[in-house]
């Protein structure tokens, strides 16, 4: 499966190659390199001498009498800007690591000279496993776990909701010794942790709500007399 890093590299390579070739063509014509090297470029070459404009008069006025030309140009440029902004926003957004390469505990070649077995674990699957393990911890009623960064610099962000009256320090210790330790052992490295813990309020902390609830439960409808 192609991940976002591969797509980014391919797009950047293609765009960089196009810009590089275009810049070299303009520089070659601007410095009169073709004449100095004795090279005759084809007739459709964009720039062959320093005195030649990049776009000829015929090229600039070719589609002037067509009513669809300028709207098409503006729409194409607007679409290019929108796609560029979307791509930039996708790069700035923190993403889950695509996959981790898990240690197999062996080296060299496999049996019969074959390749060594390589195991990979998706970042989303690892975050889901840590979240499920956190939900089984004592006094944890809800959990949310996400991974950020690259596979080599991944970090873990977790949010835990505890039962009323729970001890947050005990929850931190249980999470580090349990789900976090297992995740680090699975990927064969450290995972920096950002842990947020919230203790659910008890009913005694909201006496007004409790009184309203009791008042509502204590109300009984009187039967109507026909």
Q: Is the pLDDT of residue 93 over 80?
A: no
Residue 226 lies in a domain: no
Structural domain that includes position 42: 1-57
Residue 174 lies in a domain: yes
Q: Where are the beta strands (DSSP E) in 88-226?
A: 99-102, 119-122, 140-148, 155-162, 193-199
Q: Give the pLDDT confidence of 163-211 residue by residue, as tens digits.
A: 998 999 999 999 999 999 999 988 888 889 999 999 988 766 555 555 5
Residue 222 lies in a domain: no
Rounded to whole angstroms, the Cα distance separating 86 from 89 reads 5
Rounded to whole angstroms, the Cα distance separating 73 from 29 reads 26
Rounded to whole angstroms, the Cα distance separating 163 from 143 reads 12
Residue 65 lies in a domain: no
Count of domains for the chain: 2
87 Rama sector, left if φ>0, alpha if ψ -120 to 50, beta otherwise: alpha
Give the residue-averaged pLDDT of 19-29: 86
Rounded to whole angstroms, the Cα distance separating 132 from 138 reads 13
Residue 193 lies in a domain: yes
Q: How confident is the model at residue 2 (pLDDT cuts 50, 70, 90)?
A: low
The reported pTM is: 0.48
Q: Give the pLDDT confidence of 114-163 residue by residue, as tens digits.
A: 555 677 888 888 899 999 999 999 999 999 998 887 777 888 999 999 99
Residue 82 lies in a domain: no
């Amino acid at each position: 499966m192609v991940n976002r890093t591969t797509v980014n590299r391919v797009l950047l390579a293609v765009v960089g190659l196009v810009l590089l070739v275009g810049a070299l063509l303009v520089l070659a014509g601007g410095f009169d390199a073709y004449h100095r090297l004795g090279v005759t470029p084809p007739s459709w070459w964009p720039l062959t001498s320093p005195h030649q404009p990049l776009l000829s008069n015929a090229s600039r006025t070719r589609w002037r009498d067509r009513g669809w030309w300028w709207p098409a140009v503006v729409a194409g440029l607007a679409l290019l800007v929108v796609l560029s902004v979307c791509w930039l926003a996708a790069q700035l957004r923190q993403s889950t690591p695509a996959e981790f390469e898990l240690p197999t505990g062996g080296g060299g070649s496999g049996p019969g000279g074959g390749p060594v077995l390589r195991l990979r674990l998706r970042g989303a699957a690892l975050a889901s496993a840590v979240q499920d393990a956190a939900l089984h911890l004592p006094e944890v009623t809800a959990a949310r776990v996400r991974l950020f960064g690259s596979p080599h610099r991944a970090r873990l962000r977790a949010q835990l909701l505890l039962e009323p009256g729970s001890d947050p320090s005990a929850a931190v210790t249980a999470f580090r010794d349990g789900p976090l330790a297992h995740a680090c052992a699975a990927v064969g490295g450290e995972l920096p942790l950002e842990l947020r813990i919230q203790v659910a309020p008890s009913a005694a902390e909201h006496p007004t709500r409790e009184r309203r609830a009791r008042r509502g439960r204590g109300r009984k409808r009187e039967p109507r007399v026909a």
